[in-house]
Structure 1
Amino acid sequence: MKKNMMIPLFLFLAIYLLSSVLTKDMISLDLISKNQAPSLSHLFGTDWLGRDMLLRTLKGIQLSITLGIVTALLSTFLGLLLSLLATLNQYFDKMVSWLIDLFLSLPHLVTLILISFVLGGGFKGVVIGLMLTHWPAITRVLRAELLQLESMPYVQISKQLGKGFWWRARHHFLPHLFPQLMVGFTLIFPHAILHEASITFLGFGLSAEEPAIGIILSESMQYLSSGMWWLAFFPGLTLLVMVILFQRFANAFQNHLERDRSYGHYFNS
């Protein structure tokens, strides 16, 4: 199980760290080498400006992963906060339930595009848009778990002993919700990456000067008819491989959590 978990994680981190050392200056123009097919000197070929597509793809992957991690963390934290808020009283519970139903009833991609467009796009606009459209599902799961926990005898005893809400949240709720939080994060992360690439491809996401995968795919569309297939194939394939690697790690990690229930001491210490 540990081998199944560590190998995808190692490959995922290796690609991310490799892309992190790249600078924009390394993706320089070289008109002499433009429109070259994949070769030993340029594994992913070059584009219409002579830029190495391997370096551009790696830089785009770094941006996508960074955005996905930030979005997944913020969405998971927002879901936890709202689910805890729903347990305070019936008024907050009804308000959170109404918000969940509202966002789940809206077309996901359309809502994401509208939020990103209103906020002016860019990294901040995309992150906020993804965060505000990816929290409802995990919030609904966490809320259901918390409502069930509230009726547990040990939680009721804590109330009778005068323990406050945040004490119960730290010692009773968070240890129980830890697997759900990790599962929520691992599910949101690949969705965030793919949705960011989608809206950026459509022109509503990251700005054109950013080396994002969506920008690369969007720019390559006008050159596919001339036979430059590598401009879209390799960036798209790399994005897919990164998502699959993370999903393999996530599945192994979730199985590991189900087998090991010793995570509660992190919150009780």
Structure 2
Amino acid sequence: MNRRQKTLMTTLCAALLLIAVVAGALLIGEERIATNFEIRNAPPSLEHPFGTDWLGRDMLARTLKGLTVSIGVGVIAATASAVIALVLGMLAATMGKMVDSAITWLIDLLLGVPHLVALILISFTLGGGLKGVVVGIALTHWPSLARVIRAEVMQLRTAEYVLISRKLGKSQWWIASRHILPHMLPQLLVGFVLLFPHAILHEASISFLGLGLSPHQPAIGIILSESMRYLTSGMWWLAFFPGISLLMIVRAFDILGENLRKLTDPHSAHQ
């Protein structure tokens, strides 16, 4: 298959996987995650494919609901981060050297700090929870995309049709909205798809460390953190199935983002 066919196939598989997870979480009743000591610590079976935990809760239901929470956090945070990158990238390329220098310095500063460290600091400052995680991810994942958008806008500024519009007296806002922004939409889409799996992983990471979502929410990071104390008892399914499910979601969208990036790249789009 060529690049377009691979991208279409990957998009279809990722969309089906996403729909299956969300639909499964919505269709499963609350009784599946209710406490039932009669079936606690049950290994995987036909009735409970992912087994049950120490409280008798079905791990398949908990995993699907946890993935849905992580997906929701990832979508919100990746969208906010992509919007920040678009705004700052365009400002850096169009508002003069002083603004460009300030935004470039901020990009270099954030790229020099590990994402997880900055995310933990921001989330802890905001008191953790859903708000802290979303704001932390949104404020730490935009620099790489902003740098790409800035470079693209710098090239578009010297394009012939942009120079003609400027000579015809068109305003900076008109040029940005009619000429530059439409060219940025593919980059923005690719950036969002690539940010999405990183957002999910980082949300799971800080929730695992106890600095993210509330322990009462069935997030994957919370499930993995709770299962650690039972692994030495041989209850391997408590961490294996949620972990492999998270890995499948992240890997699917990582491959999709990489194929979209290569498809928008003129040097590899023809492959």
Same-fold status (TM-score > 0.5): yes
1:114 matched residue in structure 2: 121
Larger deviation, residues 99-108 vs 7-16: 7-16
1:49 matched residue in structure 2: 55
2:44 matched residue in structure 1: 38
* Paired residue type of 1:42: H
The structural deviation recorded for 1:106 is 1.5
1:264 matched residue in structure 2: none
TM-score (ref. length: structure 1): 0.91
* Residues 1:171 and 2:178 aligned together: yes
Whether contact under 8 Å (2:10, 2:252) holds in the other structure is no
Larger deviation, residues 214-223 vs 179-188: 179-188
CA–CA separation in structure 2 for the residues paired with 1:253 and 1:21: 32
Equivalent position to 1:201, from 181, 186, 208:
208
The structural deviation recorded for 1:3 is 3.6
How many residues are aligned here?
Answer: 259
| Coordinate RMSD, CA, aligned | 1.7
**Secondary structure of 1:225's match?**
helix
Whether contact under 8 Å (1:5, 1:252) holds in the other structure is no
Equivalent position to 2:26, from 6, 17, 20:
20
The structural deviation recorded for 1:145 is 1.0
**Secondary structure of 2:233's match?**
coil
CA–CA separation in structure 2 for the residues paired with 1:185 and 1:247: 11
| Pair 106,57 (structure 1): closer, same or farther in 2 beyond 3 Å | same
The structural deviation recorded for 1:31 is 0.7
| Pair 25,167 (structure 1): closer, same or farther in 2 beyond 3 Å | farther
* Residues 1:68 and 2:74 aligned together: yes
After superposition, the C-alpha distances for 1:224-251 in whole angstroms (9 at most, x for unaligned) are 0010000000000010111122234334
1:9 matched residue in structure 2: 15
Show structure 1 runs of 5+ residues with no match.
260-269
CA–CA separation in structure 2 for the residues paired with 1:102 and 1:24: 45
* Residues 1:99 and 2:106 aligned together: yes
CA–CA separation in structure 2 for the residues paired with 1:79 and 1:111: 17
Larger deviation, residues 80-89 vs 118-127: 80-89
* Residues 1:213 and 2:202 aligned together: no
TM-score (ref. length: structure 2): 0.90
After superposition, the C-alpha distances for 1:99-124 in whole angstroms (9 at most, x for unaligned) are 11111111221111010001011111
2:269 matched residue in structure 1: none
Whether contact under 8 Å (1:64, 1:196) holds in the other structure is yes
CA–CA separation in structure 2 for the residues paired with 1:177 and 1:162: 23
CA–CA separation in structure 2 for the residues paired with 1:21 and 1:163: 53
Equivalent position to 1:162, from 169, 183, 190:
169
